[in-house]
Amino acid sequence: MALILGLPIILLYVGLVAYPTFLLTDAAFEDGLAGFKETFTGPRLSTLLTTLRLSLVVTILVILCGSVIAWTLVTTQSRLVRIVFWIAVLAPLSLSSVVKTFSFVIILSHFGIVNWISDHLGLGRHQLLYNDFAVTTGMVYTLLSYGVMTMYVTFHSIDQSLLKAAASLGATKTQIARTIVLPLSMSGTLITGVLIFVLAIGFYVTPVMLGGPKATFISSLINHEIRRNSISRPQHECR
């Protein structure tokens, strides 16, 4: 009976995961290890390292910023603050990644609001687009909502009476955070880190629009290779 009930899930897994994975694995070894050697050498290796480096930076920033916001949501007694924070966290989820990324193109452009403020402060205008800074900023903003929600669940599960008991015994906020909050939230923090890192590696729109050729992600390289191979492939093979 259990096998019959689980049959649809098994068929979906075989059709959508196992079979495509088999085809990709088979195609990957058509030329032996030459494809892997090409991937881990030259510009492709540089692209892979750039993707991993920026994804790691984004993950750390999202965890730090998300933890502060999530902890504020858990501990604040102000209903107004909680409402404003939740609106700020959830509102970006209603927008597409293209819209959110293009907003940063406008904000960080040479005549954008950031350079306008910098110029009026006597600091001059700076190149804020098409570099690692722009990509990191856009990705952190896009992924911050996910980081806040996962960290909120983590912090909300901590028994607040433990914090009150520690405070009543003379523990400082730093000691409470180090000895109680940090150990109890470690598993949730790791889960958040894995989630954000995996999502960051697969980003395509943000690196293309904000990074330019200097911040090419592996997703952009894959798209380029697919287009190049589809164009160079003979017509009779595409039929």
Report the half-sphere exposure of 93 (CA within 13 A, side-chain side).
11
Of the ranges 20-29, 88-97, 228-237, which one carries the lowest mean pLDDT score? 228-237
Look at residue 149 and tell me if it is in a domain. Answer: yes
User: Is 195's pLDDT higher than 50?
Assistant: yes
Closest C-alpha to 31, from 43, 39, 20: 39
User: Is 223's pLDDT higher than 90?
Assistant: no
Look at residue 21 and tell me if it is in a domain. Answer: no
Look at residue 25 and tell me if it is in a domain. Answer: no
pLDDT of residue 10: 87
pLDDT of residue 26: 80
> What's the pLDDT tens digit per position in 100-156?
999 999 999 988 999 999 999 988 888 899 989 999 999 999 999 999 999 999 999
Q: Grade residue 239 by pLDDT with cuts at 50, 70 and 90.
A: very low
Find out whether 147 and 92 touch, Cβ atoms under 8 Å. no
Residue 116: domain span: 50-231
Look at residue 236 and tell me if it is in a domain. Answer: no
- If one counts the domains in the chain, the total is 1
- For residue 76, the domain's CATH number is 1.10.3720.10
User: Is 42's pLDDT higher than 90?
Assistant: no
User: Is 97's pLDDT higher than 60?
Assistant: yes
Q: Is 184 exposed, middle or buried (0-12, 13-18, 19+ CB in 10 A)?
A: middle
Look at residue 131 and tell me if it is in a domain. Answer: yes
* Mean pLDDT rounded to a whole number for the chain: 88
pLDDT of residue 9: 86
Look at residue 125 and tell me if it is in a domain. Answer: yes
Torsion sign across C-alpha atoms 89, 92, 93, 97: negative
User: Is 1's pLDDT higher than 70?
Assistant: no
Report the half-sphere exposure of 139 (CA within 13 A, side-chain side).
35
pLDDT of residue 188: 94
Look at residue 67 and tell me if it is in a domain. Answer: yes
Look at residue 34 and tell me if it is in a domain. Answer: no
Closest C-alpha to 138, from 98, 86, 198: 98
